[in-house]
Structure 1
Amino acid sequence: MTRFLHRLQSACTWPGRIVGWLVLPLILSVCLTVLAAQLGINVLAEWAEPVPLFGKALTVNTLLDLQWHIFALIVLFGGVYAFRDNSHVAVDVFSSGLPERAKLALRLFGDLVFLLPFCVIIAWYGYGFAEKAFISSEGSTYGGLLDRWMIKAAIPAAFSLLGLCALLRALSIALELAGFSAKHGGAAR
Protein backbone atom coordinates (compact mmCIF):
# COMPACT_ATOMS: atom_id res chain seq x y z
CA MET A 1 0.00 0.00 0.00
CA THR A 2 2.78 2.43 0.86
CA ARG A 3 4.46 1.78 -2.50
CA PHE A 4 1.19 2.69 -4.21
CA LEU A 5 0.98 5.92 -2.16
CA HIS A 6 4.57 6.80 -3.09
CA ARG A 7 3.79 6.19 -6.77
CA LEU A 8 0.81 8.51 -6.53
CA GLN A 9 3.04 11.15 -4.91
CA SER A 10 5.50 10.75 -7.77
CA ALA A 11 2.67 11.30 -10.24
CA CYS A 12 1.79 14.53 -8.42
CA THR A 13 5.35 15.77 -8.92
CA TRP A 14 5.33 15.20 -12.68
CA PRO A 15 4.62 18.90 -13.44
CA GLY A 16 7.50 19.87 -11.12
CA ARG A 17 9.90 17.72 -13.11
CA ILE A 18 8.70 19.28 -16.36
CA VAL A 19 8.88 22.92 -15.22
CA GLY A 20 12.45 22.38 -14.09
CA TRP A 21 13.36 22.49 -17.77
CA LEU A 22 11.87 25.99 -18.03
CA VAL A 23 15.08 27.35 -16.52
CA LEU A 24 16.61 27.23 -20.01
CA PRO A 25 13.93 29.39 -21.69
CA LEU A 26 14.08 31.65 -18.63
CA ILE A 27 17.79 32.24 -19.15
CA LEU A 28 17.24 32.79 -22.90
CA SER A 29 14.46 35.28 -22.16
CA VAL A 30 16.64 37.24 -19.74
CA CYS A 31 19.49 37.37 -22.25
CA LEU A 32 17.17 38.50 -25.06
CA THR A 33 15.65 41.18 -22.81
CA VAL A 34 19.07 42.56 -21.89
CA LEU A 35 20.25 42.48 -25.51
CA ALA A 36 17.07 44.18 -26.79
CA ALA A 37 17.30 46.85 -24.09
CA GLN A 38 20.93 47.57 -24.97
CA LEU A 39 20.06 47.83 -28.67
CA GLY A 40 17.00 49.98 -28.01
CA ILE A 41 14.63 47.45 -29.56
CA ASN A 42 11.12 47.10 -28.12
CA VAL A 43 9.25 44.98 -30.68
CA LEU A 44 11.13 41.77 -31.44
CA ALA A 45 8.56 40.16 -33.74
CA GLU A 46 5.07 40.89 -35.08
CA TRP A 47 2.47 38.75 -36.83
CA ALA A 48 -0.98 39.32 -38.32
CA GLU A 49 -3.19 36.95 -36.31
CA PRO A 50 -3.27 36.97 -32.50
CA VAL A 51 -1.56 34.04 -30.78
CA PRO A 52 -2.82 32.89 -27.37
CA LEU A 53 -0.84 34.46 -24.52
CA PHE A 54 1.33 36.58 -26.85
CA GLY A 55 -1.25 38.52 -28.89
CA LYS A 56 0.10 40.05 -32.12
CA ALA A 57 3.69 40.78 -31.12
CA LEU A 58 6.68 39.70 -29.08
CA THR A 59 8.01 42.70 -27.19
CA VAL A 60 10.50 43.35 -24.42
CA ASN A 61 7.54 43.66 -22.03
CA THR A 62 6.33 40.25 -23.23
CA LEU A 63 9.70 38.78 -22.34
CA LEU A 64 9.63 40.44 -18.92
CA ASP A 65 6.18 39.00 -18.21
CA LEU A 66 7.30 35.63 -19.54
CA GLN A 67 10.19 35.61 -17.07
CA TRP A 68 7.81 36.16 -14.15
CA HIS A 69 5.42 33.50 -15.45
CA ILE A 70 8.20 30.94 -15.80
CA PHE A 71 9.57 31.78 -12.36
CA ALA A 72 6.09 31.37 -10.85
CA LEU A 73 5.67 27.96 -12.48
CA ILE A 74 9.06 26.80 -11.24
CA VAL A 75 8.29 27.92 -7.69
CA LEU A 76 4.72 26.58 -7.58
CA PHE A 77 5.26 23.16 -9.12
CA GLY A 78 8.84 22.82 -7.95
CA GLY A 79 7.53 23.27 -4.42
CA VAL A 80 5.39 20.16 -4.79
CA TYR A 81 8.44 18.26 -6.03
CA ALA A 82 10.54 19.52 -3.09
CA PHE A 83 7.79 18.54 -0.63
CA ARG A 84 7.61 15.01 -1.99
CA ASP A 85 11.39 14.60 -1.65
CA ASN A 86 11.33 16.20 1.81
CA SER A 87 13.83 18.83 0.63
CA HIS A 88 11.57 21.75 1.48
CA VAL A 89 12.13 24.15 4.36
CA ALA A 90 10.96 22.56 7.59
CA VAL A 91 11.03 23.64 11.22
CA ASP A 92 13.10 20.87 12.75
CA VAL A 93 13.83 22.84 15.92
CA PHE A 94 10.89 21.17 17.64
CA SER A 95 11.52 17.64 16.43
CA SER A 96 15.31 17.31 16.21
CA GLY A 97 15.67 15.56 19.57
CA LEU A 98 12.56 13.41 19.30
CA PRO A 99 12.49 9.68 18.55
CA GLU A 100 11.57 8.68 14.98
CA ARG A 101 7.95 7.72 15.79
CA ALA A 102 7.37 11.07 17.51
CA LYS A 103 8.83 12.86 14.46
CA LEU A 104 6.45 10.94 12.22
CA ALA A 105 3.49 11.77 14.46
CA LEU A 106 4.46 15.45 14.46
CA ARG A 107 4.79 15.43 10.66
CA LEU A 108 1.38 13.76 10.36
CA PHE A 109 -0.13 16.39 12.64
CA GLY A 110 1.48 19.23 10.68
CA ASP A 111 0.35 17.86 7.33
CA LEU A 112 -3.26 17.33 8.42
CA VAL A 113 -3.77 20.37 10.64
CA PHE A 114 -1.69 23.04 8.93
CA LEU A 115 -0.64 22.14 5.39
CA LEU A 116 -3.76 20.43 4.06
CA PRO A 117 -6.23 23.15 5.16
CA PHE A 118 -3.86 25.83 3.83
CA CYS A 119 -3.73 24.08 0.44
CA VAL A 120 -7.53 23.77 0.34
CA ILE A 121 -7.97 27.48 1.09
CA ILE A 122 -5.42 28.60 -1.51
CA ALA A 123 -6.84 26.24 -4.15
CA TRP A 124 -10.41 27.38 -3.42
CA TYR A 125 -9.69 31.11 -3.58
CA GLY A 126 -7.11 30.65 -6.35
CA TYR A 127 -9.77 29.08 -8.53
CA GLY A 128 -11.97 32.16 -8.16
CA PHE A 129 -8.95 34.37 -8.80
CA ALA A 130 -8.20 32.56 -12.10
CA GLU A 131 -11.87 32.39 -13.06
CA LYS A 132 -12.26 36.15 -12.65
CA ALA A 133 -9.19 36.73 -14.85
CA PHE A 134 -10.63 34.38 -17.49
CA ILE A 135 -14.08 35.97 -17.52
CA SER A 136 -12.68 39.50 -17.72
CA SER A 137 -10.04 38.53 -20.34
CA GLU A 138 -7.40 40.04 -18.09
CA GLY A 139 -4.09 40.74 -19.75
CA SER A 140 -1.18 43.11 -19.66
CA THR A 141 -1.95 46.80 -20.07
CA TYR A 142 1.61 47.65 -21.07
CA GLY A 143 2.23 45.35 -24.04
CA GLY A 144 3.16 42.21 -22.12
CA LEU A 145 1.51 38.81 -22.04
CA LEU A 146 -2.22 38.35 -22.46
CA ASP A 147 -4.47 35.65 -20.97
CA ARG A 148 -3.40 36.13 -17.36
CA TRP A 149 -5.86 33.43 -16.34
CA MET A 150 -3.34 30.84 -17.53
CA ILE A 151 -0.71 31.72 -14.95
CA LYS A 152 -3.34 32.41 -12.30
CA ALA A 153 -4.78 28.93 -12.89
CA ALA A 154 -1.38 27.49 -11.96
CA ILE A 155 -1.94 28.62 -8.36
CA PRO A 156 -4.95 26.39 -7.57
CA ALA A 157 -3.47 23.58 -9.68
CA ALA A 158 -0.16 23.58 -7.80
CA PHE A 159 -1.78 23.88 -4.38
CA SER A 160 -4.21 21.08 -5.24
CA LEU A 161 -1.24 18.87 -6.11
CA LEU A 162 0.56 19.93 -2.93
CA GLY A 163 -2.55 19.14 -0.88
CA LEU A 164 -2.87 15.76 -2.54
CA CYS A 165 0.81 15.05 -1.80
CA ALA A 166 0.25 16.08 1.83
CA LEU A 167 -2.74 13.76 2.09
CA LEU A 168 -0.82 10.88 0.50
CA ARG A 169 2.14 11.45 2.82
CA ALA A 170 -0.22 11.58 5.82
CA LEU A 171 -1.74 8.24 4.78
CA SER A 172 1.73 6.77 4.32
CA ILE A 173 2.84 8.02 7.75
CA ALA A 174 -0.36 6.72 9.36
CA LEU A 175 0.30 3.29 7.85
CA GLU A 176 3.88 3.38 9.09
CA LEU A 177 2.77 4.39 12.59
CA ALA A 178 0.20 1.59 12.49
CA GLY A 179 3.00 -0.92 11.98
CA PHE A 180 3.41 -1.16 8.23
CA SER A 181 6.92 -0.77 6.87
CA ALA A 182 7.29 2.15 4.48
CA LYS A 183 10.31 0.55 2.82
CA HIS A 184 8.92 -2.90 2.19
CA GLY A 185 5.19 -2.24 1.88
CA GLY A 186 4.30 -5.01 4.32
CA ALA A 187 3.75 -5.36 8.03
CA ALA A 188 6.62 -4.41 10.29
CA ARG A 189 8.25 -7.18 12.29
Structure 2
Amino acid sequence: MEALLKISDCIDAIVSRIGKWASLLAIPLMLTIIYDVIQRKFGGQGSIKLQELEWHLHTALFMLCFGFGYIRDSHVRIELIRDNLRPRTRAIVEMIGGLICVLPFCALVLYFGFDFVARSFENHEVSASTTGLTHRWIIKSTIPIGFGLLAMAGLSIFMKCFVFVFGPTNLHKRAGYYVGTHHADLGDVAKLKD
Protein backbone atom coordinates (compact mmCIF):
# COMPACT_ATOMS: atom_id res chain seq x y z
CA MET A 1 0.00 0.00 0.00
CA GLU A 2 2.92 2.33 0.67
CA ALA A 3 4.07 1.69 -2.91
CA LEU A 4 0.68 2.81 -4.26
CA LEU A 5 0.98 6.09 -2.37
CA LYS A 6 4.51 6.62 -3.70
CA ILE A 7 3.33 6.03 -7.28
CA SER A 8 0.38 8.34 -6.66
CA ASP A 9 2.65 11.05 -5.25
CA CYS A 10 4.93 10.74 -8.30
CA ILE A 11 1.97 11.11 -10.66
CA ASP A 12 0.72 14.08 -8.62
CA ALA A 13 4.11 15.76 -8.92
CA ILE A 14 4.18 15.37 -12.72
CA VAL A 15 0.61 16.56 -13.26
CA SER A 16 1.02 19.42 -10.78
CA ARG A 17 4.27 20.64 -12.35
CA ILE A 18 2.72 20.66 -15.84
CA GLY A 19 -0.42 22.35 -14.48
CA LYS A 20 1.56 25.06 -12.72
CA TRP A 21 3.64 25.80 -15.81
CA ALA A 22 0.55 25.74 -18.02
CA SER A 23 -1.20 28.18 -15.70
CA LEU A 24 1.34 30.77 -16.84
CA LEU A 25 -0.53 30.79 -20.17
CA ALA A 26 -2.99 33.08 -18.40
CA ILE A 27 -0.46 35.91 -18.72
CA PRO A 28 -0.13 35.91 -22.54
CA LEU A 29 -3.88 35.26 -22.73
CA MET A 30 -4.65 38.41 -20.72
CA LEU A 31 -2.09 40.47 -22.64
CA THR A 32 -3.53 39.30 -25.96
CA ILE A 33 -7.07 40.16 -24.85
CA ILE A 34 -6.00 43.60 -23.60
CA TYR A 35 -4.12 44.33 -26.82
CA ASP A 36 -7.05 43.14 -28.93
CA VAL A 37 -9.53 45.30 -26.99
CA ILE A 38 -7.30 48.38 -27.26
CA GLN A 39 -6.78 47.78 -30.96
CA ARG A 40 -10.53 47.44 -31.53
CA LYS A 41 -11.34 50.53 -29.47
CA PHE A 42 -8.71 52.86 -30.87
CA GLY A 43 -7.60 51.15 -34.07
CA GLY A 44 -11.13 50.61 -35.31
CA GLN A 45 -10.57 47.06 -36.45
CA GLY A 46 -10.01 43.74 -34.76
CA SER A 47 -7.72 40.94 -35.81
CA ILE A 48 -8.86 37.42 -36.63
CA LYS A 49 -5.40 36.11 -35.70
CA LEU A 50 -5.61 37.75 -32.27
CA GLN A 51 -9.08 36.32 -31.66
CA GLU A 52 -7.95 32.85 -32.65
CA LEU A 53 -4.83 33.20 -30.53
CA GLU A 54 -7.08 34.03 -27.56
CA TRP A 55 -9.12 30.86 -28.19
CA HIS A 56 -5.98 28.76 -28.58
CA LEU A 57 -4.39 30.10 -25.39
CA HIS A 58 -7.63 29.60 -23.47
CA THR A 59 -7.96 26.03 -24.77
CA ALA A 60 -4.36 25.16 -23.92
CA LEU A 61 -4.72 26.72 -20.46
CA PHE A 62 -7.88 24.75 -19.74
CA MET A 63 -6.73 21.42 -21.16
CA LEU A 64 -3.29 21.41 -19.56
CA CYS A 65 -4.61 22.46 -16.12
CA PHE A 66 -7.60 20.12 -16.02
CA GLY A 67 -5.72 17.22 -14.38
CA PHE A 68 -4.09 19.62 -11.90
CA GLY A 69 -7.54 20.85 -10.86
CA TYR A 70 -8.69 17.27 -10.34
CA ILE A 71 -5.71 16.40 -8.16
CA ARG A 72 -6.26 19.54 -6.07
CA ASP A 73 -9.97 18.69 -5.70
CA SER A 74 -10.86 22.08 -7.13
CA HIS A 75 -13.04 20.83 -9.98
CA VAL A 76 -16.79 21.21 -10.18
CA ARG A 77 -18.75 18.60 -8.26
CA ILE A 78 -22.00 18.36 -6.29
CA GLU A 79 -20.76 19.37 -2.84
CA LEU A 80 -24.28 19.33 -1.43
CA ILE A 81 -24.25 15.53 -1.66
CA ARG A 82 -20.53 14.83 -1.27
CA ASP A 83 -20.03 16.92 1.86
CA ASN A 84 -22.71 14.97 3.72
CA LEU A 85 -21.04 11.60 3.09
CA ARG A 86 -18.59 9.99 5.48
CA PRO A 87 -14.96 10.00 4.23
CA ARG A 88 -14.92 6.24 3.59
CA THR A 89 -18.10 6.54 1.51
CA ARG A 90 -16.60 9.51 -0.36
CA ALA A 91 -13.55 7.43 -1.20
CA ILE A 92 -15.69 4.53 -2.45
CA VAL A 93 -17.83 6.87 -4.58
CA GLU A 94 -14.66 8.50 -5.94
CA MET A 95 -13.18 5.12 -6.87
CA ILE A 96 -16.39 3.99 -8.60
CA GLY A 97 -16.65 7.33 -10.42
CA GLY A 98 -13.05 7.06 -11.56
CA LEU A 99 -13.50 3.53 -12.87
CA ILE A 100 -16.86 4.12 -14.53
CA CYS A 101 -16.57 7.72 -15.75
CA VAL A 102 -13.16 9.40 -15.64
CA LEU A 103 -10.78 6.70 -16.87
CA PRO A 104 -13.03 5.23 -19.63
CA PHE A 105 -13.88 8.71 -20.95
CA CYS A 106 -10.20 9.68 -20.98
CA ALA A 107 -9.37 6.44 -22.79
CA LEU A 108 -11.94 7.23 -25.50
CA VAL A 109 -10.70 10.78 -25.98
CA LEU A 110 -7.10 9.55 -26.13
CA TYR A 111 -7.97 6.80 -28.59
CA PHE A 112 -9.74 9.16 -31.00
CA GLY A 113 -7.69 12.25 -30.12
CA PHE A 114 -4.39 11.05 -31.52
CA ASP A 115 -6.00 10.31 -34.88
CA PHE A 116 -7.71 13.71 -34.75
CA VAL A 117 -4.32 15.42 -34.33
CA ALA A 118 -2.56 13.20 -36.88
CA ARG A 119 -5.15 13.99 -39.59
CA SER A 120 -4.82 17.69 -38.87
CA PHE A 121 -1.03 17.46 -39.14
CA GLU A 122 -1.08 15.39 -42.35
CA ASN A 123 -3.61 17.70 -44.03
CA HIS A 124 -1.73 20.87 -42.97
CA GLU A 125 -4.98 22.11 -41.48
CA VAL A 126 -5.30 25.87 -41.10
CA SER A 127 -8.00 28.24 -39.90
CA ALA A 128 -11.22 28.45 -41.89
CA SER A 129 -10.59 32.20 -42.05
CA THR A 130 -8.16 33.35 -44.73
CA THR A 131 -6.40 35.61 -42.22
CA GLY A 132 -6.48 33.08 -39.37
CA LEU A 133 -3.76 31.02 -37.76
CA THR A 134 -2.00 28.09 -39.38
CA HIS A 135 -0.80 24.80 -37.85
CA ARG A 136 -4.16 23.87 -36.34
CA TRP A 137 -2.68 20.54 -35.19
CA ILE A 138 -0.78 22.32 -32.41
CA ILE A 139 -3.92 23.41 -30.58
CA LYS A 140 -5.66 20.12 -31.32
CA SER A 141 -2.77 18.26 -29.70
CA THR A 142 -3.66 19.80 -26.33
CA ILE A 143 -6.81 17.65 -26.29
CA PRO A 144 -5.12 14.23 -26.00
CA ILE A 145 -2.36 15.71 -23.85
CA GLY A 146 -4.90 17.26 -21.47
CA PHE A 147 -6.96 14.11 -21.23
CA GLY A 148 -3.78 12.08 -20.72
CA LEU A 149 -2.99 14.30 -17.75
CA LEU A 150 -6.56 13.93 -16.51
CA ALA A 151 -6.28 10.13 -16.77
CA MET A 152 -3.06 10.25 -14.77
CA ALA A 153 -4.79 12.38 -12.14
CA GLY A 154 -7.75 9.99 -12.05
CA LEU A 155 -5.42 7.03 -11.55
CA SER A 156 -3.60 8.85 -8.77
CA ILE A 157 -6.84 9.71 -6.96
CA PHE A 158 -8.08 6.14 -7.39
CA MET A 159 -4.90 4.81 -5.75
CA LYS A 160 -5.19 7.22 -2.81
CA CYS A 161 -8.84 6.33 -2.28
CA PHE A 162 -8.04 2.62 -2.58
CA VAL A 163 -5.39 2.93 0.14
CA PHE A 164 -7.80 4.92 2.30
CA VAL A 165 -10.55 2.30 2.01
CA PHE A 166 -8.51 -0.92 2.04
CA GLY A 167 -5.15 0.07 3.47
CA PRO A 168 -3.78 0.08 7.00
CA THR A 169 -4.89 2.78 9.41
CA ASN A 170 -1.44 4.36 9.63
CA LEU A 171 -1.70 5.39 5.95
CA HIS A 172 -5.18 6.90 6.19
CA LYS A 173 -4.05 10.40 7.01
CA ARG A 174 -1.65 10.49 4.06
CA ALA A 175 -4.13 8.89 1.64
CA GLY A 176 -7.27 10.57 2.88
CA TYR A 177 -6.71 14.23 2.09
CA TYR A 178 -8.79 13.90 -1.06
CA VAL A 179 -11.85 12.68 0.80
CA GLY A 180 -11.82 15.39 3.42
CA THR A 181 -9.69 13.96 6.22
CA HIS A 182 -6.79 16.39 5.93
CA HIS A 183 -8.13 18.39 8.91
CA ALA A 184 -8.72 15.36 11.12
CA ASP A 185 -6.18 14.06 13.61
CA LEU A 186 -4.97 10.45 13.67
CA GLY A 187 -7.48 9.39 16.33
CA ASP A 188 -10.38 10.70 14.28
CA VAL A 189 -9.05 9.12 11.09
CA ALA A 190 -9.03 5.67 12.72
CA LYS A 191 -12.73 6.13 13.55
CA LEU A 192 -13.56 7.32 10.02
CA LYS A 193 -12.97 3.90 8.48
CA ASP A 194 -16.08 2.50 10.17
TM-score range, shorter chain: 0.7 to 0.9
Match of 1:118 in 2: 105
Alignment of 1:68-87 (within 5 A): 68-87=55-74
Letter in 2 for 1:152: K
Q: Choose from 37, 43, 46 the match for 1:39.
A: 43
Q: CA shift at 1:102, angstroms?
A: 1.1
Q: Is the 8 A contact 1:10 1:84 kept in 2?
A: no
Alignment of 1:100-179 (within 5 A): 100-140=87-127, 141-179=129-167
Which structure has the highest helix share of the two?
2
Letter in 2 for 1:136: N
Q: CA shift at 1:142, angstroms?
A: 2.4
Q: CA shift at 1:18, angstroms?
A: 1.1
Q: Is the 8 A contact 2:103 2:155 kept in 1?
A: yes
Q: CA shift at 1:170, angstroms?
A: 0.7
Q: CA shift at 1:97, angstroms?
A: 2.7
Alignment of 1:172-187 (within 5 A): 172-180=160-168, 181-184=171-174
Q: Aligned equivalents of 2:172 and 2:133: distance in 1?
A: 46
Q: Are 2:20 and 1:17 aligned? A: yes
Q: CA shift at 1:184, angstroms?
A: 4.5
Q: Aligned equivalents of 1:144 and 1:102: distance in 2?
A: 50
Task: Say if 1:67 and 1:182 are closer, same or farther in 2 by CA, change over 3 A.
Answer: farther
Q: CA shift at 1:125, angstroms?
A: 1.3
Q: Aligned equivalents of 1:74 and 1:33: distance in 2?
A: 19
Task: Say if 1:76 and 1:97 are closer, same or farther in 2 by CA, change over 3 A.
Answer: same
Q: Is the 8 A contact 2:29 2:54 kept in 1?
A: yes
Percentage identity across paired residues of the two chains: 24
Q: Is the 8 A contact 1:13 1:77 kept in 2?
A: no
Q: Is the 8 A contact 2:68 2:153 kept in 1?
A: no
Q: Deviations over 1:88-130 (max 9, x none)?
A: 0112344333221111101110011111101111111111111
User: Following TM superposition, where does structure 1 have runs of at least 4 consecutive aligned residues deviating by more than 3 angstroms?
Assistant: 92-96, 182-185
- Please give the TM-score of this superposition, normalised by the length of structure 2: 0.79
The number of aligned residues is 170
Unpaired stretches in structure 1, ≥5 consecutive residues: 43-59
- Please give the TM-score of this superposition, normalised by the length of structure 1: 0.81
3-state DSSP of counterpart to 1:13: helix
Q: CA shift at 1:15, angstroms?
A: 2.2
Q: Is the 8 A contact 1:3 1:182 kept in 2?
A: no
Q: Deviations over 1:45-72 (max 9, x none)?
A: xxxxxxxxxxxxxxx2221111001100
Q: Aligned equivalents of 1:16 and 1:90: distance in 2?
A: 20
Which structure has the highest strand share of the two?
1
